[in-house]
Amino acid sequence: MTKVVRWSPMNPASLFNEVDRLFERPYARTASEWSIALDVAETEEAYLVKATVPGINPDEMEITLEDGVLSLKGEIKQDEEVEEAKYHVRERRYGSFSRSIRFPMAVNGDAVEATYTNGVLNLNIPKAEAAKPKRIVVNAS
């Protein structure tokens, strides 16, 4: 017997997200390069991005916005090993990291605000004026 599955057309924005997720999978990275955790929220005015990047000097991060794609890159240096110590657990990540996301609508790259507090990078990326919803007033007579 054949299974019936509901078909749902994919909008272009979710297609971009699926392609982006494909490249974020671990097998697409080298052993020394990894991805960082992100939260992306949207308001009427802007996209809000939070990235967890502890242990890095914010001046050593490379943040670019080009053609609607935000890219974050950096490197966390490995601590020196203590010769006399016997490690039981070594879980802290080090090495290069990178992450890119595509916004589904135009953004204003000249007005991006970035702050870094307690290992969390916060980006406020305003939408372009053309992309913001416009309210149309209807005059009744």
- Are 125 and 103 in contact, with CB atoms under 8 Å apart? yes
The full set of domain ranges for the chain reads 12-82+95-131
- Taking residue 29's Cβ as centre, other Cβ atoms within 10 Å add up to 16
Question: Angle at CA 102, nearest 5°, toward 113 and 75?
Answer: 65
CATH of domain 12-82+95-131: 2.60.40.790
- Are 122 and 116 in contact, with CB atoms under 8 Å apart? yes
Gyration radius of the chain's alpha carbons: 21
Closest CA to 107 of 37, 53, 40: 40
**Least confident span in 8-17, 33-42, 72-81:** 8-17
- Are 69 and 101 in contact, with CB atoms under 8 Å apart? yes
**Least confident span in 15-24, 46-55, 57-66, 69-78:** 15-24
Confidence band of 30 (pLDDT split at 50, 70, 90): very low
Model confidence pLDDT, tens digit, residues 87-107: 888 777 778 888 999 998 899
**Least confident span in 23-27, 43-47, 51-55:** 23-27
